[in-house]
């Protein structure tokens, strides 16, 4: 496919409010020879998609302006943005190239934009698209193109692989978005459009559950490598009562599932007093049964009730196993006693005698409670001494 350019024609395109690609008006090219209507078509009066009789068009029978528009439309329909990119590529001098030889006939991107009636940024986007395609061997390099040169152009559907109509695509942020879009198998221009219109993204998330789910998944993936985002979301949740309750509920569910899972995976149980011992076979079998049911739940199903049932069932078997094992039962009680003793000791140590010496804080009840505590401690000591093995 070739297009022609009359070097003497510098008619500018419409103002930048027109569609993105139409910053330059292609010149008229010789019309292809119109096919003659077949006798069958004329005889039967068959019509095309427009519903009108298909009759070969003769350029001489139509307004020259309409003929020119039709031909320009045909060029763009076949080549897309390449038709306009070629005009830039053969007319704009690459930056830093000396203005000599063929390059002397070319102009800068700014001068070309002024002639075209558009911005230099727009011209450079076409320039960069051609440059990338040239690096891939799809089109010739700028240096070998002369003003007005005609070449075979790539198909229109290849154009969007090289061209972006957004300035943000050239920024570090834009490049990151483009790379992520390509990794997801979508056009970078789609992702850039969304990134440039966060209000539209917010509206879609609020209105559409599917979009909200996609956003949730993306945020979770992002948080894995973004500590700042983790902190921001955690702060937002902590400041919202409903979210805080929901997180607490889900954390409880996760803890219960974790309790069952660690029995299956590690083969150990944690007793009520905090001991970690080998799980009896019946406890492990029950944990495996409940865990398989939990793992089969769909993402949309609530796991809270299932997790609660699994936890209570396994916990009951653990308590039963402790009571049925004499040695384990003794160790469990010993562990529980030590735990309570440590807590009581820590609390009593936090009391300060300096505060006791102040008359302002004295209450009769304080003295009565300490005397009762002293009596309880004395009874406990006496019981322990009685239970102590006698020396042989």
Using CA atoms in the order 88, 91, 94, 98, what is the torsion angle rounded to 10 degrees? -170
- Mean pLDDT taken over the chain: 77
How much is the CA Rg of the chain, to the nearest whole Å? 41
| pLDDT of the residue at 171 | 66
Domain extent listing, the chain: 1-34+57-163, 169-238, 244-328
364 sits in the region (left: phi over 0; alpha: psi -120 to 50; else beta) called alpha
Q: How far apart are CA 212 and CA 295, in angstroms?
A: 24
Closest by alpha carbon to 78, among 20, 175, 154?
A: 154
Q: How far apart are CA 134 and CA 139, in angstroms?
A: 5
Is the overall model pTM greater than 0.85, yes or no?
no
**Confidence tier at 263 by pLDDT (50, 70, 90):** confident
Using CA atoms in the order 354, 356, 357, 360, what is the torsion angle rounded to 10 degrees? 110
| pLDDT of the residue at 165 | 59
pLDDT tens by residue, 334-392: 888 888 888 888 888 877 666 666 667 777 888 888 889 889 989 989 988 888 877 54
pLDDT tens by residue, 183-200: 887 777 677 777 778 888
Q: Residue 320 corresponds to which tokens in the numbers above?
A: 């039963």
Q: What is the SS3 assignment for 269?
A: strand
pLDDT tens by residue, 289-311: 888 888 887 766 778 888 888 88
Over 60: is that where the pLDDT of 81 sits?
A: yes
Residues 174 and 191 sit within 8 Å (Cβ to Cβ): no
| pLDDT of the residue at 100 | 66
Residues 248 and 275 sit within 8 Å (Cβ to Cβ): no
- Between residues 86 and 61, the one the model is more confident about: 86
Q: How far apart are CA 19 and CA 99, in angstroms?
A: 32
């Amino acid at each position: 496919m070739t297009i022609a350019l009359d070097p003497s024609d510098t008619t500018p395109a419409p103002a930048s409010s027109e569609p993105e690609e139409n910053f330059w008006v292609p010149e008229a090219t010789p019309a292809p020879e119109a096919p003659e209507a077949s006798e069958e078509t004329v005889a039967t009066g068959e019509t095309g998609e427009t519903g009108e009789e298909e009759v070969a068009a003769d350029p001489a029978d139509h307004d020259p302006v309409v003929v020119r528009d039709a031909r320009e439309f045909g060029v763009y329909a076949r080549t897309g943005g390449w038709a306009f990119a070629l005009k830039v590529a053969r007319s704009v001098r690459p930056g830093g190239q000396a203005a000599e030889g063929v390059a002397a006939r070319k102009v800068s991107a700014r001068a070309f934009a002024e002639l075209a009636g558009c911005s230099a940024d727009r011209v450079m986007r076409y320039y960069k698209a051609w440059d990338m395609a040239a690096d891939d061997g799809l089109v010739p390099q700028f240096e070998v193109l002369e003003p007005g040169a005609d070449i075979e152009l790539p198909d229109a559907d290849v154009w969007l692989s090289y061209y972006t109509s957004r300035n943000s695509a050239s920024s570090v942020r834009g490049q990151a978005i483009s790379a992520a879009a390509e990794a997801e198998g979508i056009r970078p221009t789609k992702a850039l459009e969304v990134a440039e219109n966060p209000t539209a993204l917010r509206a879609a998330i609020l209105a559409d559950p599917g979009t909200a789910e996609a956003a949730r998944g993306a945020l979770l993936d992002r948080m894995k490598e973004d500590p700042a985002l983790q902190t921001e979301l955690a702060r937002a949740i902590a400041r919202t009562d409903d979210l805080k309750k929901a997180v607490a509920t889900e954390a409880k569910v996760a803890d219960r599932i974790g309790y069952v899972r660690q029995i299956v995976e590690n083969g150990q149980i944690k007793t009520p007093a905090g001991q970690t011992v080998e799980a009896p076979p019946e406890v492990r079998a029950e944990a495996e049964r409940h865990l398989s049911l939990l793992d089969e739940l769909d993402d949309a199903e609530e796991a809270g009730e299932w997790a609660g049932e699994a936890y209570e069932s396994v916990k009951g078997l653990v308590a039963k196993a402790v009571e049925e094992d004499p040695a384990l039962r003794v160790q469990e009680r010993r562990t529980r006693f030590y735990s309570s003793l440590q807590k009581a000791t820590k609390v009593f140590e936090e009391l300060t005698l300096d505060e006791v010496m102040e008359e302002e804080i004295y209450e009769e009840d304080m003295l009565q409670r300490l005397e009762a505590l002293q009596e309880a401690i004395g009874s406990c000591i006496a019981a322990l001494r009685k239970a102590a093995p006698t020396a042989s």
